[in-house]
Amino acid sequence: MTWTCPAASSPSAARSSRSPLEHPSRGQFLVKDYPKDKEYRRLKLSAQITAKIVAHVRARRLGPDDLLFSYRAPDGPASRRRLAVVGPAGLTDPDANGRRYRHGTLTAYNAARCRCEHCRGAYATYRAARRSADKDSPRARRAS
C-alpha cells in the first residue's frame, strides 16, 4: 500500500498555531507549503511504524487536512502522586565536606544534589506552593 503524507503533516511544511480569530478559515493551525529555512526534510519510517500510522488514519477516518495526532485537554487539573510515608527516608551520601542531609528536604535536593523520589517530591511541592502564591512569575513567552 502506498501512503502519502499531505503538506499539513509533512516535515517540510511550516506550521504555526493561531487563534481562530486570526486564522483565515477559523482553524487552529496555519500551514505554509514551504519549510522555514527553505530546506526540505526527509523522514525515514520503518514499515512497522508506517503500518501503525496507516491503521490510525483508517480507524479515525482522517482526511488530507486532518492532524494525525490531536491534543485533548485533560478533564480536570493534574494531580501529583503522593509518596507513601514509610518512615524516615534516611540520609544522603556524604558530600565533599562529609555532610549528610535528610532525604525529602529542599536542603538535600539543593546542597547534596540528591534527585531521589523523595527529594524531587519536596522540591516539586515547594515550587507548586510558590507558583500558587504568585511568588514566582513564569518566563515570558518567546516571540515567534
How many H helices and E strands in the chain? 3, 2
Residues spanned by the domain of 14 = 7-59
For residue 9, the model assigns a pLDDT of: 45
End-of-domain residue from the set 44, 59, 74: 59
Whether 102 maps to a domain, the answer reads yes
DSSP SS3 for 43: coil
Please provide the size of the chain in residues.
144
Whether 98 maps to a domain, the answer reads yes
Whether 78 maps to a domain, the answer reads no
The answer to whether the beta carbons of residues 50 and 3 sit under 8 Å apart is: yes
The pTM (predicted TM-score) of the whole model is 0.40
For residue 80, the model assigns a pLDDT of: 62
For residue 34, the model assigns a pLDDT of: 66
For residue 95, the model assigns a pLDDT of: 87
Nearest to 70 by CA among 81, 60, 82: 60
List, for the chain, all residue ranges whose pLDDT scores fall below the cut of 70: 1-34, 36, 79-89, 138, 144
For residue 14, the model assigns a pLDDT of: 52
Question: What is the count of structural domains for the chain?
Answer: 2
DSSP for 87-119, please give it: S---BPPP-TTS---BTTSHHHHHTS---SHHH
Residues 55 and 87 occupy one common structural domain? no
Whether 75 maps to a domain, the answer reads no
